[in-house]
Amino acid sequence: MMRLEGRAPAKLNLTLEVLGRRADGYHEVASVMHTLSLCDTLTLELPPPESFDPARGAIHIIEPSDSPPLREAIPTDSRNLVWQAVARFVALTPSPSPTLWERGDARQRFWSAEASASAACGSGASALHIPLSRVGGEGDTGGEGNPSWRATLLKRIPSQAGLGGGSSDAACALRLLNHWAARYERALPDDALYALARALGADVAFFLKGGCALATGRGEQLHPLPTLPPFWWVLAKPYGVGVPTGWAYTQLGRGAVSPNARADHTERLMRLLPTIRTPRDLAPLLHNDFDAPILQAIPALAELRTLLEQGSALRVILCGSGAAQAALCESEDHAKALANTLRTHGYWTAVTRNE
């Protein structure tokens, strides 16, 4: 087994504007995103190609010993994006040993995608369809002994928080898989790896490179931007409160996107980004369209917002569509003091920097 380890950082939407519903049913968005120092740690244990069976995997989730449970509703079977990343990556690499995959229909399906790999990578998410319901479940080893591969996730990023933890884990898995594949001269080129990430989700594509980027379209059109100086943030959310993304979009009630729709907050931040030197420069430029409707719909988040503002945060915004919130602080000492106050009130909290 080859053992590989990587960091999977959280992200923050410095701006997030939802411009309207597109003809394809998705929403047109504009957002400036930035990675954070808060991260999960992913360890993959991968066999040589000739014995790699993506249908027989195992995902184990662990948490810091000083943290209450963060892993509510995080699946460890083929619903997990790390599992999907493994399955789809293997589907796009040449088959090392056809006899291994001819033993069962479910396994053959992984390699049947090989013939259309080039087309799939060129046409985005819709072409990269693999029947993941056939690749196993929690603890499933395909009835053939021990797992072929293993993933261990040290989770520091809570789920349904708007911080992109699951997407970042998947992007980290793709990077590690490509390192593994390079050893056997099977690495995917950058454009194919990006197409695969985009097929898994718009945020997955962002996390492949991280840093700071403008995201437009459904969020999959990415344009690199200069990173900010390192500022201190406090992230916080109530335990047991999550915000499903689909539900959050319904709270906005957006109609069809207009051809003349403008993302004024995002454009302003992009224009001023090179001039930002201090957290006070950044504070008035932060914006999230989900703030008002989500806080109105979930009183527990409104109560947390009050505490954050009472803690002298320079600005507080929702992380993505929630449920976490991000408070921009003057300094590390300010951030630590605010986080300690929130812990005494029973909230999950983390002190972090943009990076």
CATH number at residue 251: 3.30.70.890
pLDDT digits (tens, 9 = 90+) for 103-148: 333 333 333 333 333 333 333 333 333 333 333 344 444 435 699 9
Q: Are 106 and 135 in contact (CB under 8 A)?
A: yes
How many Å apart are CA 277 and CA 283, to the nearest integer?
A: 11
Question: pLDDT tens digits for 327-340?
Answer: 999 999 999 999 99
Which of 182, 202, 225 terminates a domain? The answer is 225
What integer pLDDT is reported at residue 73 of this predicted model?
Answer: 65
* CA neighbor of 325 nearest in space, from 18, 333, 311, 355: 311
| Together in a domain, 140 and 276 | no
pLDDT of residue 67: 60
Query: Which residues, in sequence order, are CB contacts of 189 under 8 Å at separation 6+?
Result: none
Task: Based on the fold, state whether residues 151 and 239 are members of the same structural domain.
Answer: no
| ∠ CA 212-218-220, rounded to 5° | 45
Q: pLDDT tens digits, residue range 63-97?
A: 876 565 655 568 999 999 999 999 999 999 865 54
Amino acid symbol at 83: W
Tens digit of each residue's pLDDT (9 = 90 or more) over 258-270? 888 899 999 999 9
Same domain? 74 vs 218: yes
Flag whether pLDDT at 42 surpasses 90.
yes
Indicate the residue among 225, 240, 259 that finishes a domain. 225
Between 204 and 122, the higher pLDDT residue: 204
Provide the pLDDT for residue 182. 95
Are 82 and 206 in a shared domain? yes
Residues annotated as catalytic are 11, 203
Q: Answer for the pair 34, 212: CB distance below 8 angstroms, yes or no.
A: yes
- 71 and 208 housed in the same domain: yes
Residue 210: pLDDT above 90?
yes
Same domain, yes or no: 203 and 274: no
What confidence tens digit (pLDDT) does each residue in 145-174 have?
699 999 999 999 998 899 999 999 999 999
Same domain, 141 and 278: no
Q: Which helix (H) or strand (E) holds 215?
A: strand 212-217
Confidence class for position 233, pLDDT limits 50, 70, 90? very high
With a cut of 60, say whether residue 35 has pLDDT above it: yes
pLDDT (mean) for 213-228: 96
Residue where one domain finishes, among candidates 225, 259, 291 = 225
pLDDT beyond 50 at 179? yes
Q: Are residues 116 and 183 in the same domain?
A: yes
351 in helix, strand or coil?
A: strand
What would the mean pLDDT of 28-49 be, rounded to a whole number?
A: 97
The reply to whether 37 and 169 lie within a common domain is yes
**pTM summary value:** 0.85
Model pLDDT, residue 64: 78
Q: Which domain holds residue 270?
A: 232-353
Q: How far apart are CA 91 and CA 290, in angstroms?
A: 37
Query: Based on the structure, what is the number of domains in the chain?
Result: 2
Verify that 294 and 219 share a domain, yes or no: no
Classified as helix, coil or strand, 46 is: strand
Q: Are residues 220 and 266 in the same domain?
A: no
Report whether 271 contacts 233 (CB < 8 A).
no
Query: Is residue 66 domain-shared with residue 203, that is, in the same domain?
Result: yes
- pLDDT above 70: residue 19: yes
Average pLDDT, the chain: 86
Q: What is the CATH number of the domain that holds 22?
A: 3.30.230.10
